[in-house]
Amino acid sequence: MARKRKGPEQGPAPRALAPRIARVARATRVTLAVACVLGVLTASGAGSAYAAPPEPVTGPGGASGGASDGVGKKSLEEIRREIEELHGQAGSATDAYNAAEEKAAAQRKRVTSLDRRKSTTQAKLDALRDRAGALARAQYQSGGMTDTARLMMAEDPEQFLRDAGLVREGQQATRTFMGSLKATKKRLDGDAKDASREYKRLESTRKAKAAAKKTIESRITKAEKLRSQLRKDERERLKELEEQAARARQAKWAGSAAPERNSGKATGAGKRAIEFAREQVGKPYAWGADGPDTFDCSGLTMRAWQAAGESLPRTSQGQWKELPRVPAEEMRPGDLIVYNKDASHVAMYLGDGSMVHAPRTGRTVSVEGAGTMPILGVVRPGG
């Protein structure tokens, strides 16, 4: 009988395979152990030492730590410029707000005057209509016969002639009366149309004023938010940067020939305006304010010169546009220095390279170098 062969699965493993199987088992155990260790390290965060470090925040001059969370990677110098720009935009909007307020005041005055005229004209028209009604009733009571018809029927020639003169006078009076009635009605209609147009203009001005107010508040809020996101030490450094920028501008201006040559003396009115302005030092800035407790820039200069007996436009742009301009080298104390390309800021020159002004939200009326901001030009109240 033939012998049956057993398959490898039916018998024990050959002796030659045992060492190989042992090596595979050891390698498997080592691999599993390493995997477990790596898993523990990863879970505990130890593996993060191999990750790329976050990019540092850049401060002034390229140093790290120049800004805090919430302002991104901006340097303090960039933040300073942005805050300055935001306050500049708020200043421009304040001028627009003041202009709208001044315009609205004039329009309200015009509307009030028109309303009074309408009321007076309406009363006159009502009186004329009452008189016309009385004439009509008188004619009806006389049988509807006209004065001319009654005249033609008169029997006495002399009475006829006398009555003819009276008729002519009556006819002329009637024509005058009707003309007055017609003119009064026309004037009333014209006043009503004028008042309607003025009301529309006033509403448009109110919208412009509201838009300017919204712009002011949004710019100031954004500037304050930028500042509030900085740490205390960063805010102190930011203040230093602002002062450095002001000093640099002042030094550049002082290095020009302008302050050396403006040796003019203040007039009597100029001295009174300067005295008023100096008395306001320390009072808070408030946009749209013109005293007595708070001021914006043009509100301060307007009230100062008003105290000296001069009437000035309400806005810095109006003061720049309407007052006589003088060369910087000829300016004298009491003159107004207008700043920025859009004439959105104004201050009063005190002499010796200094000025007094109401700077911006969060600050008070103060005396500073006349060249600490970009100068547009100089104007002179009082001629």
Residues with catalytic function: 297, 345, 357
Q: Distance between CA 276 and CA 270 in Å, rounded?
A: 10
* Residues ≥6 apart with Cβ < 8 Å to 83: 223, 226, 227, 238
Biggest alpha carbon–alpha carbon distance for the chain: 184
Q: Which amino acid is at 209?
A: K
349 - beta bridge partners?
A: 355
Tokens standing for 331? 């300016």
Q: Are 269 and 382 in contact (CB under 8 A)?
A: yes
* Residues ≥6 apart with Cβ < 8 Å to 91: 297, 340, 344, 345, 360
Does residue 326 sit in helix, strand or coil?
A: strand
Nearest to 366 by CA among 293, 277, 288, 249: 277
b/e string for 366-383 if b means 16 or more Cβ within 10 A? bebbbbbbebbebbbbbe
**345-351 and 354-357 strand pairing:** antiparallel
Q: How many CA atoms lie within 13 A of 238 on its CB side?
A: 26
Using omega within 30 degrees of 0 as the cis cutoff, is the peptide bond preceding 60 cis? no
Tokens standing for 237? 């450094």
Tokens standing for 117? 């005229």
